[in-house]
Structure 1
Amino acid sequence: MNEEKKKALQCLKTSKGQIEGIIKMIEEGRYCIDVSNQIVAAQSLLKKSNLLILKQHLNHCVKDAFLNNTGDKKVDEIIDLLSKLLKD
């Protein structure tokens, strides 16, 4: 596993803990703004992990595809993903 994937995995594990904490906060009837702030923090970690995975993909998968003259498909995949990300 390369460094980007290791960092992404750590972010995902941390966000999992945050989400479990958020669920507990809601069950305990905690203040809405506090809950919302924790949701924003978890979203931030998910975005960071996604960026790390995409960085790894570009540096390895896409680069290899272009070296093997199969890069067009990888570019289409990235464009499809970017269109999903930009919808938010």
Structure 2
Amino acid sequence: MNEEKKKAMQALKTSKGQIEGIIKMIEDERYCIDISNQIVAAQGLLKKANMLILKQHLNHCVKKACMSDNADEKIDEIIGVLEKVISK
């Protein structure tokens, strides 16, 4: 597993713990703003993990496809993901 994937995995594990904490906060009827702040923090970790995975994809999969003159499909995949991210 390369460095980007390791960092993404850690961010996802951390966000999993945060989400479990958020669920407990709701069950414990904690203050709504505190819950919302934790949701924003978890979203930030998910975005970070996504960027790390995309970076790994560009550095490895897309680069490899470019060297074999088979880049169109990989570029279209990246554009599809970017459209989803940007349109939110």
Using the size of structure 2 for normalisation, the TM-score is 0.99
Equivalence map 1:3-82=2 (5 Å): 3-82=3-82
**TM-superposition CA deviations, 1:21-51 (whole Å, max 9, x none):** 0000000000000000000000000000000
Deviation at 1:8, TM superposition (A): 0.1
Query: What amino acid is the match of 2:39?
Result: I
Q: Which runs of 5+ in 2 are unaligned?
A: none
Question: Runs of 4+ in structure 1 displaced over 2 angstroms?
Answer: none
Distance in 2 between the 1:74 and 1:11 partners? 25
Deviation at 1:87, TM superposition (A): 1.4
RMSD of Structure 2 on Structure 1 (CA): 0.4
Using the size of structure 1 for normalisation, the TM-score is 0.99
Aligned residue-pair number: 88
Distance in 1 between the 2:81 and 2:46 partners? 15
